[in-house]
Amino acid sequence: MSTLILTTFDWVPELPRGFVRDLRIRWALEEAGLPYRVESVPFNERSAEHLSHQPFGQVPWLIDGDLSIFESGAILLHLGSLSDTLLPADPLHRSKAIEWLFAALNSVEMASLPWALLNFSGDNGDTPAWKFLDDFLKLRLERLEPVLAQHEWLADTFSIADIVMVDVLRLVDRFGGLQASPACRHYIARAVARPAFVKAHADQMAHFAAAD
Mean pLDDT of 24-45: 98
pLDDT digits 0-9 by tens, 177-200: 999 999 999 999 999 999 999 999
Cis peptide before 60 (omega within 30 of 0): yes
Mean pLDDT of 43-48: 96
Residue-averaged pLDDT of the chain:
97
> Which are the contacts of 56, defined by CB distance < 8 A and separation ≥ 6?
none
**pLDDT score for 73:** 98
Q: How far apart are CA 29 and CA 212, in angstroms?
A: 26
Residue 1 pLDDT greater than 70, yes or no:
no
pLDDT digits 0-9 by tens, 115-170: 999 998 888 778 898 999 999 999 999 999 999 999 999 999 999 999 999 999 99
**pLDDT score for 15:** 93
